[in-house]
Structure 1
Amino acid sequence: MTGLIPRGLRVGAALAWRFIVVIAALYAVVWLMGYLSAVVIPVSIALLLSALMAPAVAKLVAWRFPRGLATGIVLIAGLAVLGGLLTFVITQFSSGLPQLQQQLNNSLNQIKDWLINGPLHLRQEQIQDFINQAIGFIQNNQSSLTTTALTTAGTIGEILTGFVLTLFVTIFFLAGGDNIYSFLVRGVPARVRRRVDVAGRRGFASLVSYIRATAAVAVVDAVGIGIGLWIVGVPLVIPLATLVFLGAFIPIIGAVLAGGVAVLIALVTKSFIGAVIVLAIVIGVMQLESHILQPLLLGRAVRLHPLAVVLAIATGLVAAGIAGALLAVPLLAVLNAGIRSLLHEHDPDPATVDALHSKAAQPNDAKPDEADAEKDNEKK
């Protein structure tokens, strides 16, 4: 009976059912990660923070600091820097709020004067009717607005819970990451344990390179938009640039929100023309980031093709929203470095692979084994 079926059809059927099984398994994994997103996302962010802070912890440990103390120092310093930046932004905005309110009133008066005396020739009664309708809309939809506020409050509670979990997991990753990793590797069969160990170390090295490249992109965004705001003459340039820097770590939405704040302030302080100029600057910097900085810097740091970086961000955004866009490229970078390592027939001793400075994650054409061999020769 088998001989009656063409060979091409048999091969196609065999490939088809195996493909379906693989897709079903991937779907199950993605569904499970979505179901446990309240845990998966904080743990993933904690891993990113660990990759950012691990080099500093390692440096302090090399200076004979106990690992627990080094972890505490780096975490406290990181939280202090983040808190200081946020406090600076909030303080600057608060101090400039009276001036902004005055300029907003002036802008509203100018708009009102244009509506009455401009080409539209609206009457005072029409403008007042519009304002009354807006107030009535808010009053009539008070229940839905209240429900939205409660939903937002619940979301804020979830964010705070996730922040606490992220901080807790980050502490353990920094303080005992080596022990946790060794425990996980012991679950791998002994015959491939060494190769998997090396692949995991190289994957984490690629993650460290990704975090550094992301920080470089954030700096370029902040400097570019900050210079543009300074040239236009928009107030609060430094806090706005700081806001852009912080927002650049959140793909798409962070840059959009930070740029939107800059455009609104320009609209209040520099009229419509100034807002359009600032909007053009923000769009230009965002295009530079999306099409040049992220593909080239991130692709070069994690040895990924620029097209793969762009597609990974787009796929992550479609599949899991902002969290997916944030985690897609790091996940792809880790998988790329790990798979490249696993495909090599001969791997070095895991103890010789520096997970924080491995040349396997650097932008060169050397294979991982050759890179580590070069490192060993340099040491000799």
Structure 2
Amino acid sequence: MQHRSGSEPARSSSIRRIRAGRRGTGAPRTARAAWAAGGRRPSAGAPGGGSREAPEISPTLRLAAAYGWRLIVVGVVVYLIFAALGRFHLVTLAVFLALVVTALLEPLVSVLDRWMPRSLAVVVGLLLAVLLLFAVLSLIGANVAGEWDGLRREFDGGVNRIGRWLEGPPFHLRPGTLAEVQAQVSRFVASHRTTLINTALTGVGRLVAVLTVGVLAVFCSVFFLYSGDRMWTWFGGQLPLRSRRPVRLAGRAAWVTFTGYTRGIVVVAATNAVLVGVALFVLRVPLAVPLAVLEFFAAFIPLVGSPVALAVAAVVALATRGPLVAIVVVLLIVVIGQLEGHVLHPLVMSRAVRLHPMVVALSVICGSVAAGVAGAVVAVPLVSVVWSVYGVLRVHPPALPESD
């Protein structure tokens, strides 16, 4: 009995040592544990039941793969969204114009709402905007009609002066070169008359599309001005409780950025137009008012629109006032560009748009490649809105579901 009781502790300790040895030297019980431990797996193709080490994937590669397929999914979704918007580009453009009109007229409608009903305030604000637009167009038409005869004579004389200037040093063109170019243009127009007529008919169809977009934009802006806040509240109420707070924050940030950009770009464009109009009037360049209006609308395309409009003004100055005045207009391009980039944009639009100039330039180019002039106009406000929404959602991530 003593011998049996004395051998029990030795037997128990030996069993524990055997089990500990099995746990320390044996293979992991699961495949995941074997993968994490980096141990050896039996290879079915190895002769004699040998084994080889399993290939271990780098954590960096795993992270890159995880981000890669997510970026692919996001890219596909963004592509489908833009494909749908491109399919219905007229409706998209009309809604964008309605948002622009709403951003511009909302302060006026809010002021009128203090003395009259909201519906009447919306109608009065839209009528004032339409009357202002027609007044500007009438001013342009009257200016062009009043200066047309003198402009034609000055343009013919300017072309002759340019021809004589090009015939001298340093160009030394052959006499009659411009006359030959004009004759070739006339022959081209005569030989392609049918194509030009078809193009004009296509332009009529585009004019109908433009009028359709304008009517739809006015129709949408009426409802945006009258009950835009209630429409947004209704939309938020259709979302799940968890999504209401981030959507509300994102919508508020997007609208603040969009209205700030729209009102800021109008101020910048109006300032540029006034400066160009005054400078062209002082230099006695014909069509100063239409060229100033052209500068106003061209300024809606950042970094590109103003130089193009002033280049047109330089051509008119070269044909009517000579090379010296044209050089002054070219210098005006540089001065207004510096004023717009270093004074107007930082003062007027710094709160609404915080984008690097390179981002603005790339956005304008990509937008123009994707959708022409409309894409160039829409690109910068779209990128600004997306960036502001990202900043708000990064600071205020989605929280728990709300109780209300």
- Counterpart Cα distance in 2 of 1:117 and 1:338: 59
Q: Counterparts of 1:48-87 in structure 2 under 5 Å?
A: 48-61=100-113, 63-87=114-138
The answer as to 2:78 corresponding to 1:26 is yes
Deviation digits for residues 94-147 of structure 1, max 9, x if unmatched? Answer: 111111122223334445666889955637xx8766554433222222222223
Deviation digits for residues 168-216 of structure 1, max 9, x if unmatched? Answer: 1111111121222122112221233134223312321222211121022
**Which letter maps to 1:241?**
A
Kept after mapping to 2: 8 A contact 1:51/1:211: yes
* Range 327-336 or range 250-259, more displaced: 250-259
2:350 counterpart SS class? helix
1:300 corresponding residue in structure 2: 350
1:302 counterpart SS class? coil
1:147 corresponding residue in structure 2: 198
* Range 183-192 or range 300-309, more displaced: 300-309
- Counterpart Cα distance in 2 of 1:15 and 1:134: 57
Kept after mapping to 1: 8 A contact 2:364/2:376: yes
1:233 corresponding residue in structure 2: 284
2:327 corresponding residue in structure 1: 276
| 1:37 Cα deviation after fit | 0.8
| 1:11 Cα deviation after fit | 2.4
1:122 corresponding residue in structure 2: 175
| 1:254 Cα deviation after fit | 5.0
Deviation digits for residues 219-266 of structure 1, max 9, x if unmatched? Answer: 231133234324433244344323322332355675356324422331
Kept after mapping to 1: 8 A contact 2:268/2:345: no
- Counterpart Cα distance in 2 of 1:236 and 1:129: 28
Deviation digits for residues 322-346 of structure 1, max 9, x if unmatched? Answer: 2222122222333333333334449
Kept after mapping to 1: 8 A contact 2:157/2:320: no
* Range 280-289 or range 94-103, more displaced: 280-289
1:357 corresponding residue in structure 2: none
* Aligned with 1:43 (options 95, 104, 113): 95
- Counterpart Cα distance in 1 of 2:80 and 2:343: 34
Kept after mapping to 1: 8 A contact 2:246/2:396: no
* Range 185-194 or range 296-305, more displaced: 296-305
* Range 70-79 or range 19-28, more displaced: 19-28
Classify 1:48/1:117 alpha carbon distance in 2 versus 1 (closer, same or farther; 3 Å).
closer
- Counterpart Cα distance in 2 of 1:163 and 1:257: 25
Q: Counterparts of 1:9-20 in structure 2 under 5 Å?
A: 9-20=61-72
- Counterpart Cα distance in 2 of 1:101 and 1:198: 57
Classify 1:200/1:147 alpha carbon distance in 2 versus 1 (closer, same or farther; 3 Å).
same
1:136 corresponding residue in structure 2: 187
Kept after mapping to 2: 8 A contact 1:251/1:322: no
- Counterpart Cα distance in 2 of 1:341 and 1:128: 62
**Which letter maps to 1:305?**
L
* Range 294-303 or range 48-57, more displaced: 294-303
2:41 corresponding residue in structure 1: none
- Counterpart Cα distance in 2 of 1:273 and 1:259: 15
The answer as to 2:288 corresponding to 1:243 is no
Deviation digits for residues 3-60 of structure 1, max 9, x if unmatched? Answer: 3341423222222111211111111111111111111111112112211111111222
Classify 1:84/1:311 alpha carbon distance in 2 versus 1 (closer, same or farther; 3 Å).
same
- Counterpart Cα distance in 2 of 1:171 and 1:100: 42
* Range 114-123 or range 44-53, more displaced: 114-123
- Counterpart Cα distance in 2 of 1:326 and 1:20: 28
Q: Counterparts of 1:141-180 in structure 2 under 5 Å?
A: 141-180=192-231
Kept after mapping to 2: 8 A contact 1:295/1:306: no
1:203 counterpart SS class? helix
Q: TM-score, normalising length from structure 2? A: 0.74
Kept after mapping to 2: 8 A contact 1:294/1:309: no
**Which letter maps to 2:175?**
L
| 1:287 Cα deviation after fit | 5.6
Classify 1:256/1:166 alpha carbon distance in 2 versus 1 (closer, same or farther; 3 Å).
farther
* Range 189-198 or range 89-98, more displaced: 189-198
**Which letter maps to 1:53?**
L
Classify 1:294/1:264 alpha carbon distance in 2 versus 1 (closer, same or farther; 3 Å).
same
1:249 counterpart SS class? coil
- Counterpart Cα distance in 2 of 1:168 and 1:98: 41
Q: Counterparts of 1:342-353 in structure 2 under 5 Å?
A: 342-345=393-396
1:161 counterpart SS class? helix
1:6 counterpart SS class? coil
2:23 corresponding residue in structure 1: none
Q: Counterparts of 1:193-272 in structure 2 under 5 Å?
A: 193-251=244-302, 255=306, 258-272=309-323
Deviation digits for residues 139-158 of structure 1, max 9, x if unmatched? Answer: 22222222322222222222
Structure with the larger RCO, 1 or 2 (CA within 8 Å, 6+ apart): 1
Point out where structure 2 has 5 or more consecutive residues left out of the alignment: 1-30, 36-54, 399-404
- Counterpart Cα distance in 2 of 1:315 and 1:292: 24
2:322 counterpart SS class? helix
* Aligned with 1:332 (options 357, 368, 383): 383
* Aligned with 1:323 (options 367, 374, 386): 374
